[in-house]
């Protein structure tokens, strides 16, 4: 067995980078309870508020992203990397590393850069259908690159493909068995006359474009026997709360999302890697509206991959004023066979054990089993 030591995980800025790392940490902790795990994050990221609520030790660094539209600001990025290397070096001197995992974001870049410089074994996890800059840059010397989408393999450099493993994106898996949908609908206050429910959500702050398109649909076109759980986002709730009715639940924010997933038969959402992985795991067909400003347009790549697999329908946001969302929803809601087929396709893409698979591979590679 390898020497005792600490395993470091870095990834953040957004939940899409942070939560996969937390899922892998939980899996590592369950498979090797004596393994010391430390997170490295940035003061500027979501991890600043999330990591203190977890059981994991962590260090937050003064890191900055690449300022692509304001390149003159990149002196902050360079300065941040310099101070981060010193901080990581001090941390690893105190808690010697056995390996590191980067799940994306600029904190991951700093940890992986230090690992490469000091010959510390490192691993990568890419959630999206197109590999990000950090994963592309470091994949050639990684012990393994764990991919959420099989489509991501072709977006890696040739040297990075030899150690690529398609595992799916680490998420908290649905309970087994999945809760009864009728009971879950009743828990939301829907009457027995509501036989199916659509979930709508566009992120924690909400999407005005999606919300406006849904508002135009639910008023006159929500099909009979259908209900809706509409998560507007905090910034949009006051504007849309009046749409609540016996068939429409309007909420600003929903946590845990599992309570909503258990009740619904169809979802309208952005195409982030975490949300789409969760929807696949629950077998929920999707209407995906990629965020147009997502880095490298990765949400469009995610949505296109799931649409090609018949687990989703993709709508470009710029077409929403033309009624494309209403037309798509009406077609799906009117065709139960389509719903069943899309649900089966979503389940076929699911990798509910991704975190456990990744943890087992890391431990085996490091001879820590």
Q: Delimit the domains of the chain by residue range.
A: 6-172+353-365, 181-349
pTM of the full structure: 0.90
Structure confidence at residue 69 as a pLDDT band (50, 70, 90): low
Question: What distance in Å separates the CA atoms of residue 353 and residue 192, rounded to the nearest whole number?
Answer: 34
Percent of the chain at pLDDT above 70? 93
Q: What is the pLDDT of residues 145-188, one digit of tens each?
A: 999 999 999 999 999 999 999 999 999 889 988 899 999 999 99
Question: What is the mean pLDDT of the segment spanning 297-304?
Answer: 94
Structure confidence at residue 25 as a pLDDT band (50, 70, 90): very high
196-216 burial, b at 16+ Cβ within 10 Å, e below that, comes to bbbbbbbbeebbebbbbbbbe
Asked if 169 and 127 count as a contact pair (C-beta separation under 8 A), the reply is yes
Q: What is the pLDDT of residues 309-356, one digit of tens each?
A: 999 999 999 999 999 999 999 999 999 999 999 999 999 999 999 999
Q: What is the pLDDT of residues 36-62, one digit of tens each?
A: 999 998 877 788 889 999 999 999 887
Measuring CA to CA, which residue among 264, 262, 257 is closest to residue 287?
A: 264
Whether 6-172+353-365 and 181-349 share one fold: the answer is yes
- Six-digit token string for 29: 């902790």
Q: Report whether pLDDT(75) > 80.
A: no
For residue 70, the model assigns a pLDDT of 58
Asked if 256 and 238 count as a contact pair (C-beta separation under 8 A), the reply is no
Which residue reads 């609540």 in tokens?
244
16-35 burial, b at 16+ Cβ within 10 Å, e below that, comes to bbbbbbbbbbbbbbeebeeb
Question: What distance in Å separates the CA atoms of residue 326 and residue 146, rounded to the nearest whole number?
Answer: 37
Question: What distance in Å separates the CA atoms of residue 55 and residue 28, rounded to the nearest whole number?
Answer: 13
- Six-digit token string for 119: 């010959």
φ/ψ region of 41 (left if φ > 0, alpha if ψ in -120 to 50, else beta) reads: beta
Instruction: Specify burial of residue 229 (Cβ count, 10 A radius: 0-12, 13-18, 19+).
Output: buried
Q: What is the mean pLDDT of the chain?
A: 90
- Six-digit token string for 72: 């003159």
For residue 100, the model assigns a pLDDT of 98
If DSSP codes are grouped into helix, strand and coil, which group holds residue 88?
A: helix
Class for the domain spanning 181-349: alpha beta
Q: Report whether pLDDT(13) > 90.
A: no
Q: Report whether pLDDT(73) > 60.
A: no
Better pLDDT: 193 or 87: 193
Question: What is the mean pLDDT of the segment spanning 5-18?
Answer: 87
Q: How distant is the alpha carbon of residue 154 from its chain centre?
A: 20
Q: What is the pLDDT of residues 240-280, one digit of tens each?
A: 999 999 999 999 988 889 999 999 999 999 999 999 999 99
The Cα diameter of the chain in Å comes to 65
Question: What distance in Å separates the CA atoms of residue 189 and residue 330, rounded to the nearest whole number?
Answer: 24
For residue 11, the model assigns a pLDDT of 87
For residue 2, the model assigns a pLDDT of 47
Domain spanning 6-172+353-365, CATH architecture: 3-Layer(aba) Sandwich (3.40)
* β-bridge partners, 287: 268, 313
For residue 1, the model assigns a pLDDT of 45
Q: Report whether pLDDT(77) > 60.
A: no
């Amino acid at each position: 067995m390898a020497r005792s030591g600490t395993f470091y995980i870095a990834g953040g800025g957004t939940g899409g980078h942070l939560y996969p790392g937390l899922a892998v940490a939980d899996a590592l902790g369950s498979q090797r309870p004596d393994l010391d795990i430390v997170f490295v994050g940035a003061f500027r990221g979501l991890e600043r508020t999330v990591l203190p609520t977890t059981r994991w030790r962590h260090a937050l660094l003064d890191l900055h992203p690449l300022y692509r539209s304001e390149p003159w600001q990149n002196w902050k990025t360079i300065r941040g990397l310099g101070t981060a290397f010193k901080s990581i070096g001090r941390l690893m001197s105190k808690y010697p590393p056995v390996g590191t995992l980067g799940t994306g974001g600029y904190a991951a870049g700093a940890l992986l850069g230090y690992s490469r410089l000091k010959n510390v074994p490192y691993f990568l996890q890419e959630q999206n259908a197109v590999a990000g800059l950090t994963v592309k840059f470091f994949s050639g010397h990684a012990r393994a690159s764990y991919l959420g989408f099989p489509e991501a393999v072709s977006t890696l450099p040739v040297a990075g493909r030899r150690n690529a493993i398609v595992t799916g994106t680490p998420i908290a898996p649905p309970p087994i068995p999945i809760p009864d949908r009728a009971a879950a609908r009743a828990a939301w206050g829907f009457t027995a006359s509501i036989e199916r429910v659509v979930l709508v959500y566009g992120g924690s702050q909400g999407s005005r474009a999606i919300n406006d398109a849904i508002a135009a649909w639910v008023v006159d076109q929500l099909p009979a026997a259908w209900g809706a759980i509409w998560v507007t986002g905090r910034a949009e709730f006051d504007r849309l709360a009046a749409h609540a009715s016996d068939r429409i639940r309007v909420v600003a924010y929903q946590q845990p999302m599992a309570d909503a997933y258990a009740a619904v038969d169809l979802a309208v959402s952005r195409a982030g890697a975490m949300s789409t992985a969760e929807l696949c795991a629950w077998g929920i067909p999707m209407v995906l509206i990629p965020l147009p400003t997502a880095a490298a347009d990765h949400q469009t790549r995610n949505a296109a991959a799931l649409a090609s697999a018949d687990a989703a329908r993709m709508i470009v946001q710029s077409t929403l004023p033309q009624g494309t969302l209403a037309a798509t929803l009406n077609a799906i809601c009117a065709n139960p066979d389509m719903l069943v087929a899309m649900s089966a396709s979503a389940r076929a893409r699911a990798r509910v054990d991704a975190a456990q698979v990744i943890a087992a591979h890391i431990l085996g590679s490091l001879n820590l089993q």
